[in-house]
Structure 1
Amino acid sequence: MENQIYGYIRVSSRDQNEDRQVIAMREFGIAEKNLVIDKQSGKDFARPGYRRLLRKLKPNDTLVIKSIDRLGRNYDEVLEQWRLLTKEKQVDIVVLDMPLLDTRKGRDLIGTLISDIVLQLLSYVAQTEREFIHQRQAEGIAAAKARGVKFGRKPKERPAEYEHLRDEWRAGRISARAAARQLGVAHRTFMKWVEQENSDC
């Protein structure tokens, strides 16, 4: 059977658009039937499309991806998938955004060595960049909190009749659920308001 060329596309959520990756695959000449698309995050490899693709791939097939981060979420995962594909499955990989990462070229020892070095460097840089972004986000949130910025949803305002119904509940004349119902809030919300008052005392 003739060797196949497959294109693997991943977008992080159903809201993201895969068009850019699809266009790149078509320009490379990949048949529509050989395009595999996953619409979920790369946080793990329980991705149906990728799993199906792994079962299909045979030695000397070629897998095309737009960028190296389509293979995993961190340095270790990218390297592990690269090893699985090139060594165990004996598949060639082409990374469109990085022409040096094309295992069809230079199958000799030097070509393989250069490809492996470039891959490790790129994976390390990609992970370092992600960690730096997360660090800046965390620092930004901490700075905002220090300035008194509140995060999350704004607490629900207590209706004017809350105090009266709370007193009725405390006196045992109505249940908490009945009080919450009259206030038009969830039972949990009513109890949270009471607990907040108790902790403020």
Structure 2
Amino acid sequence: MSEVPIVLVDDHAIVRQGLRAILEREGDLRVVGEASTAGEALTVVLRARPAVVLLDLKLSTGDDTEGLDLCSELTRRFPETGVLVLTTFLDDRLVVEAVQRGARGYVVKDVDTTELVRAIRAVARRESAFDSRSAAAMVRSVCSAPARPALTDRELRVTRLLAHGLSNRDIGGALYISETTVKFHVRNILRKLQVGTRAEAVYEASKLGLI
């Protein structure tokens, strides 16, 4: 693999120094920048355009997950750069949310050097990278995730029209069905989404990615 430029984002200078010393023993890894805050990180990444950002989730004493917001911003502004979370936190929710915010990998700080280097190289190749514990967290979250409600195609179309604020009569006109039939579909939608109002149905459907 060609040289992998890396930016280190951690609020502790001694941690960044240690990581730099470890990573630069590898012939293909080169630290091209460091940052201790979200603002510094955005500036450094804009200038250095690294292949990988090694990101801690805790960047201040007041917020344990400031790094999540930074992860979102980095992946939005620099999609060509892979974010690898390196943190002391191992929490199923954090692992999943980091991935949802665009991180390509998640490893815990006590991971051994060989596994960390392997993860960095994988992220540079645009692959996913997790240590064994964060991978297990992802599996647990997938297995425990509630099943998406099985709305029929017609119910999905009704839900999308509900999201546009249409009345039962207007929905019926748009779908060429009677108002009574629309009411039937709406009742089924509310039941399947386990909500009590049309607005709640739209909100729940949006959260589930149905609309």
- Scaled by the length of structure 2, what TM-score is found? 0.33
- Scaled by the length of structure 1, what TM-score is found? 0.34
User: Which entry has the higher C-alpha Rg, 1 or 2?
Assistant: 1
